[in-house]
Copies of this chain bind each other. A is one copy, B any other.
């Protein structure tokens, strides 16, 4: 595939966001993307898991509307859809991210 399909922000459902976040691996991905504040490749995230597992989790993050993935050559650049989600569900992602801080 050239580029990956994502839901529009209108299609995003709160329950899917919560579901996507309710997994330690995916939460870790989201937290790292938020901390990075920029697009990261799966490789850069380096969560020490097989590629197929990471791909699975990214698929869920994408379908929930949390992550946007742009294909760039052989790499896939992933970014949090923070602003969009904040606009649709103010405070949800922000407070969750804040809650994960040490």
Q: A residues engaging B (CB < 8 A)?
A: 14-15, 18-19, 21-24, 27, 88-92, 94-96, 98-100
Given A89-B95, A90-B95, A95-B90: A100 in contact with B24 (beta carbons within 8 A): no
**B contact residues around A96 at 8 Å (CB):** 14, 18, 89, 92
Given A91-B95, A95-B90: A100 in contact with B22 (beta carbons within 8 A): no
| Partner among B22, B91, B94 whose Cβ is within 8 Å of the Cβ of A22 | B22
Task: Give the shortest distance, in Å, between A84 (CB) and chain B (any CB).
Answer: 14
Taking a contact as CB atoms under 8 Å apart, the answer to whether A14 and B90 are in contact is no
Which of A18, A24, A92, A100 has the largest count of B CB atoms less than 10 A from its CB? A18
